[in-house]
Amino acid sequence: MKKLVVIGAGMATGRALEHLFDADPDAYEVTLFNAEPRGNYNRIMLSPVLSGEKTYEEIVTHGDDWYAQHGVTCRFGEKIAKVDLDRKVVVAENGDEVAFDKLLFGTGSNPFIIPLPGHDLKGVIAYRDLEDTYAMMDAAGTPGAKAVVIGGGLLGLEAAAGLRMRGMDVTVVHLMGHLMDRQLDEAAGYLLRKALTDRGIHIRCSTNSKEIRGEDGQVKALVLDDGSELPCDLLVMAVGIRPNVALAKDSGLAVGKAIHVDDQMVTSHPDVLAVGECVEHNGAIFGLVAPLYDQAKVVAKTLLGEDATFVQKEVSTKLKVTGCDLFSAGDFAEGEGREDIVFRDPARGVYKRLVIEGNTLVGAVMYGDTADGNWFFGLIKDRTDIAEMRETLIFGPAFQGGAHVDPMAAVAALPADAEICGCNGVCKGDIVAAIEAGATDLGAIRASTKASASCGTCTGLVEQVLSSTLGDDFVLPAAQSVCGCTDLSHEDVRVLIKTKELKSQPAVWQELGWKSRDGCHVCRPAINFYLLADWPLEYQDDPQSRFINERKHANIQKDGTYSVVPRMWGGMTTPDELRAIADAAEKYDVPTVHVTGGQRIDLLGVKGEDLPAIWADLNKAGLVSGHAYSKGLRTVKTCVGKEHCRFGTQDSTGLGIKLEKHLWGSWTPHKVKLAVSGCPRNCAEATCKDIGVVCVDSGYQIGVGGAAGMDVKETERLADVTSEEEVMEIASAFMQLYRENAKYLDRPYKWIKKVGLEWVKEQVIDDLDNRKALAERFEISQSIYRKDPWAEHAQERAETYQPIANLTLRAAE
């Protein structure tokens, strides 16, 4: 009998031996070495062992009996020290030599450990084998123990879910922007995150680790890039695997990323084969079980001298976390000429995306309802022509002309206690009750519940509740939708972001049933604003969803150059500032210098790549961004007031500076301009501003909703007050009310026309508690946004203003 030595008792070699013995039990005498002190078990079932759904005994695939029955000499717990290919022997650690006719490498892979400071502390482990699993189960046995998992991929999330099921407090730290970024797109990643968060797992995406802190050699906390600490008693690294090729390399086999094999699974030596995670075939390496089993079949045939060829196939992924239903298959990420079909059902938390190339399906991502996953996977593998069924493809094999997506699904899905009308505290259930008691139109709902009877922002939602409750008996008035990506209006979207607590763009797209993959140039800036206005601490501003002026903090001109306007607080400046502006204008060849209507100086014609440098120069003189490009606070124009003017009644300049320093940096639905005039002669033109203050002997007159652009409109009086402090608080509260309620791109005067000045007065003047609350929320937002974007960009993002490559330099060489 010929002699076969196998190195590694894993899933691939186990399957190869099964095929070998099935085909010819007497062909080889087998010696099996394994570094782990046990035989083959089903490694992909470690997660159910961790979560307690299975025991180790249940996942053993080859027991002692099986090895005995097939005459396998088992040398478990023994490593191979050396392979001598010339003499065709392997040398065990204890010096024993075992001769072979054929050798099979199945050395698998090693978990990758990030070399963070402290990675060798006790309690820092990978998630790879039974020992790791037992270590995790041990750690979870201590009541109140905390775990951190680095890595939000398949393995990391299974580890996190298992630890959570055992009662640990678990945080997942993931470098990329969404979970399982290699298998899922943003929308599916969002749904997964939501499901895991619901079961009490904390998730931190876009988060980088800095070091691991310990005490007496035991892990105590993970320190993040931003300096914050996550206390933990167990730290699991699940950031990927590396093929285990050291032995093969030392033996002289050809090794690249892993051990090179041909289509017959033969390495660079004709009598040596390799299988599993340690092989590289046509440039690819393998981590999922399906291709390993295909390889195992080929190995068995090759060993028996039969013809067989390993062919790489598409793979599919499923997460083994009970209750998180996701599926991904094929290639849904890269490539040109591809089209998407997206289906979302917010009510059921379902997301499906198919990627089509020509007339074939090449990729599929599904969340929530994966019943058709294998059918799609079959279409991908077989490259089936789907031209005929394209229209209905996404509904799966069972679809026979059913209903289309209901645009009102988002409202229909709201629970009875979801608040529809924030002004009057009316829930969906109250409205439904009123309808059941006989109300059939908006007027009746307003009369009986007060819903939408105050600011009116929720009118669209109330109508949708009417429609979904009454069915065909209620004809829905057509509201203007945000854009082609959705049937919902701006008002609907704003309310739903608040009631459903949507805190990211993928959350909005999914939960509100967006029809496009990632929005468009119309909805993205609006949604970005709504999210940062409603969730200033949780949501991170997305520059890619901003118009170029707000992304580059300068105004684009028709020739592609930019204008730069530094802030002059309250219209005041100094000789030093003027000198710095003049120097910058000369240094950067600024062709046009213009004095603006907002009492500052505009440098026009600055080249895009010069922006960070000119900002850095202006910063040195203490000048910061004037936000002349933003839907946000622009200027506070002032007159010189009683300091100089013989008619001045108050310190209008001082108040203007205070207001500007308080409000600057805030984002608003449209631009906001202020002015403070020192007397009713109104030299600062305060009565045509969004907020205008006119000083009088007895105090301050505050007007709002003025305009002097496409429309010209005088402000309406909001309040008369006696102190600067009141002006400041009312201005803050008004800004916040506008930020929280107005439609994107409505200036205050347009918004006030819709909600009524009386309602605004109730909110910011009459109700003192509410005024305070609004001003406090404004301040929370300002804790993030009251800063100079120029300084930040000049220091941290200057590189992005430059071309990624300059080929003209290369040509000149």
Partner 1 sequence: MTNWIDIGPLDGIAPRGARVVRTDWGCIAVFRTSDDEVFALEDSCPHKKGPLSEGIVHGKSVTCPLHNWVISLETGAAQGADQGQTGTIATRVEDGRILMDEAVLQARSAA
Single out the segment in contact with partner 1 by CB under 8 A; choices: 83-91, 335-343, 618-626, 661-669: 335-343
For partner 1, give the closer residue by CB, 332 or 738.
332
| Binding test (CB under 8 A) with partner 1, winner from 520, 613, 645, 773 | 520
Task: Give the number of other Cβ atoms within 10 Å of residue 608's Cβ.
Answer: 16
For partner 1, give the closer residue by CB, 355 or 426.
355
How far is residue 355 CA from its own chain's centroid? Answer: 21
Kindly state the smallest distance separating residue 518's Cβ from partner 1, in Å.
5
Distance (Å, rounded) from C-alpha 13 to C-alpha 11?
6
| Binding test (CB under 8 A) with partner 1, winner from 123, 291, 373, 525 | 525
- Give the gyration radius of the chain's Cα atoms: 34
For partner 1, give the closer residue by CB, 115 or 337.
337
Kindly state the smallest distance separating residue 806's Cβ from partner 1, in Å.
5
Kindly state the smallest distance separating residue 479's Cβ from partner 1, in Å.
23
Task: Give the number of other Cβ atoms within 10 Å of residue 102's Cβ.
Answer: 21
Query: For the window 779-808, what string marks contact with partner 1 as x by the rule CB under 8 A?
Result: ---------------------x--xxxxxx
CA angle 194–200–203, rounded 5-degree value: 55
For partner 1, give the closer residue by CB, 359 or 800.
800
> Cα dihedral sign for 135, 141, 146, 150?
positive
Q: Count CA atoms closer than 13 A to 390's CA, side-chain side.
A: 14
For partner 1, give the closer residue by CB, 563 or 781.
563
Asked whether the beta carbons of 295 and 277 are under 8 A apart, the reply is no
Q: Residue type for 805, please? A: A
For partner 1, give the closer residue by CB, 73 or 206.
206
Q: How many residues bind partner 1 (CB under 8 A)?
A: 39
By the rule CB under 8 A, 745 interacts with partner 1: no
Structure tokens at 454: 């105050």
Kindly state the smallest distance separating residue 529's Cβ from partner 1, in Å.
14
By the rule CB under 8 A, 284 interacts with partner 1: no
Asked whether the beta carbons of 225 and 207 are under 8 A apart, the reply is yes
DSSP 296-336: HHHHHHHHTT----------EEE---TT--EEEEE--S--S
Kindly state the smallest distance separating residue 751's Cβ from partner 1, in Å.
23
Kindly state the smallest distance separating residue 158's Cβ from partner 1, in Å.
25
| Binding test (CB under 8 A) with partner 1, winner from 404, 558, 575, 712 | 558
For partner 1, give the closer residue by CB, 506 or 648.
506
**3-class DSSP state for residue 417?**
coil
Asked whether the beta carbons of 191 and 198 are under 8 A apart, the reply is no
Reported as type and span, the H/E element at residue 444 is helix 442-449
Which phi and psi (to 5°) does residue 287 adopt?
-125, -15
Kindly state the smallest distance separating residue 367's Cβ from partner 1, in Å.
16
The torsion angle over the Cα atoms of residues 744, 749, 750 and 754, rounded to 10 degrees, is 110
Query: For the window 344-373, what string marks contact with partner 1 as x by the rule CB under 8 A?
Result: ------------------------------
Asked whether the beta carbons of 539 and 504 are under 8 A apart, the reply is yes
List Cβ neighbours of 430 (8 Å cut-off, separation of 6 or more).
449, 451
Single out the segment in contact with partner 1 by CB under 8 A; choices: 13-21, 377-385, 446-454, 540-548: 540-548
Task: Report in angstroms the alpha-carbon separations of 359 from 342, 356, 363, 397, 399.
Answer: 17, 7, 12, 17, 19
Kindly state the smallest distance separating residue 174's Cβ from partner 1, in Å.
16
For partner 1, give the closer residue by CB, 104 or 554.
554
Single out the segment in contact with partner 1 by CB under 8 A; choices: 38-46, 368-376, 550-558, 618-626: 550-558
Residue with tokens 């960070």: 612
Distance (Å, rounded) from C-alpha 704 to C-alpha 755?
13
By the rule CB under 8 A, 722 interacts with partner 1: no
How far is residue 532 CA from its own chain's centroid? Answer: 14
Write down the H helix ranges in 229-283: 246-251
For partner 1, give the closer residue by CB, 611 or 636.
611
| Binding test (CB under 8 A) with partner 1, winner from 519, 566, 612, 669 | 519
Reported as type and span, the H/E element at residue 357 is strand 350-357
Report the largest interatomic distance among the alpha carbons of the chain, rounded to a whole angstrom: 115
By the rule CB under 8 A, 813 interacts with partner 1: no
For partner 1, give the closer residue by CB, 247 or 485.
485
Asked whether the beta carbons of 572 and 608 are under 8 A apart, the reply is no
Asked whether the beta carbons of 653 and 719 are under 8 A apart, the reply is no
| Binding test (CB under 8 A) with partner 1, winner from 94, 226, 323, 521 | 521
By the rule CB under 8 A, 545 interacts with partner 1: yes
| Binding test (CB under 8 A) with partner 1, winner from 347, 556, 745, 791 | 556
Where on the phi/psi map is residue 666: left (φ > 0), alpha (ψ -120 to 50), or beta?
A: beta
| 584-623 residues near partner 1, rule: CB under 8 A | 608
By the rule CB under 8 A, 280 interacts with partner 1: no
Structure tokens at 514: 């967006």
318, burial (CB in 10 Å: exposed 0-12, middle 13-18, buried 19+): middle
Kindly state the smallest distance separating residue 21's Cβ from partner 1, in Å.
41
Distance (Å, rounded) from C-alpha 735 to C-alpha 754?
16
By the rule CB under 8 A, 563 interacts with partner 1: no
By the rule CB under 8 A, 153 interacts with partner 1: no
Kindly state the smallest distance separating residue 333's Cβ from partner 1, in Å.
5
| Binding test (CB under 8 A) with partner 1, winner from 144, 337, 402, 575 | 337
By the rule CB under 8 A, 215 interacts with partner 1: no
By the rule CB under 8 A, 404 interacts with partner 1: no
By the rule CB under 8 A, 283 interacts with partner 1: no
Single out the segment in contact with partner 1 by CB under 8 A; choices: 442-450, 451-459, 545-553, 767-775: 545-553
Kindly state the smallest distance separating residue 539's Cβ from partner 1, in Å.
16
Distance (Å, rounded) from C-alpha 354 to C-alpha 394?
7
Kindly state the smallest distance separating residue 183's Cβ from partner 1, in Å.
13
| Binding test (CB under 8 A) with partner 1, winner from 141, 252, 335, 415 | 335
For partner 1, give the closer residue by CB, 130 or 556.
556
For partner 1, give the closer residue by CB, 256 or 477.
256
By the rule CB under 8 A, 240 interacts with partner 1: no
Query: For the window 176-195, what string marks contact with partner 1 as x by the rule CB under 8 A?
Result: -x-------xx---------
By the rule CB under 8 A, 318 interacts with partner 1: no
Kindly state the smallest distance separating residue 614's Cβ from partner 1, in Å.
18
By the rule CB under 8 A, 94 interacts with partner 1: no
591, burial (CB in 10 Å: exposed 0-12, middle 13-18, buried 19+): exposed
By the rule CB under 8 A, 332 interacts with partner 1: yes
CA angle 198–202–208, rounded 5-degree value: 145
Distance (Å, rounded) from C-alpha 172 to C-alpha 186?
17
For partner 1, give the closer residue by CB, 480 or 722.
480
DSSP 656-696: HHHHHHHHTT-B-SS-EEEEEESSTT-TT-GGGSSEEEEEE
Single out the segment in contact with partner 1 by CB under 8 A; choices: 99-107, 210-218, 332-340, 750-758: 332-340
| 632-651 residues near partner 1, rule: CB under 8 A | none
Closest of 549, 481, 480, 541 to residue 516, by C-alpha = 481
Which residues make up the interface to partner 1 (CB under 8 A)? 177, 185-186, 332-338, 340, 516-521, 524-525, 543-548, 551-552, 556, 558, 560, 608, 800, 803-808, 811
